[in-house]
Amino acid sequence: MTPLETVNEFIRRMTDMDLDRACELVTGDVEYDNVPMGKNHGPEGIQEILGPMVDALDEVEWIIHNETASGNLVMNERSDRFRLGDKWMTLPVAGVFELNDDGKITLWRDYFDVGTFNTEMARLMEQP
């Protein structure tokens, strides 16, 4: 797989809510950087952040609007969508990925607005 194909396969596994298979595509020391929130490391860092979210949600869909790649660098522009019951939330995200020469993801850095994330997540979790 090219770096771009690997990133897209990673996102496919994420949206299948299959974190274990997604994490097969990252290195043991991957840096997972949610820019305004902070960094986590390793597949266990990804699982720690996203595991509880995936467990709580009913469906995940990330729409890729634009993507570019240059060497081992991939950037994409996404609408990350999450469903709980019959409610959806959408988070606009720009992502940066770096891969090593073995085709594994060593860096995943997402740019987004924390206020949007918190407001939308609260609306999603609200009891009807």
> Could you tell me where the beta strands, DSSP code E, fall in 9-125?
26-34, 38-41, 59-70, 73-84, 87-99, 105-111
Helices and strands, number each (H, E), in the chain: 4, 6
What are the CA-CA distances from residue 116 to residues 36, 44, 91, 120 (Å)? Answer: 12, 26, 7, 6
Which one of residues 47, 88, 111, 121 is an interface residue with its own copies (CB under 8 A)?
111
Is 16 among the catalytic positions? no
Site map for its own copies, 62-81, x if CB under 8 A?
----xxxxx--xxx-x----
Is 110 among the catalytic positions? yes
Site map for its own copies, 7-26, x if CB under 8 A?
--------------------
The residues that touch its own copies, with contacts defined as CB under 8 A, are: 35-36, 66-70, 73-75, 77, 92-96, 109, 111-116
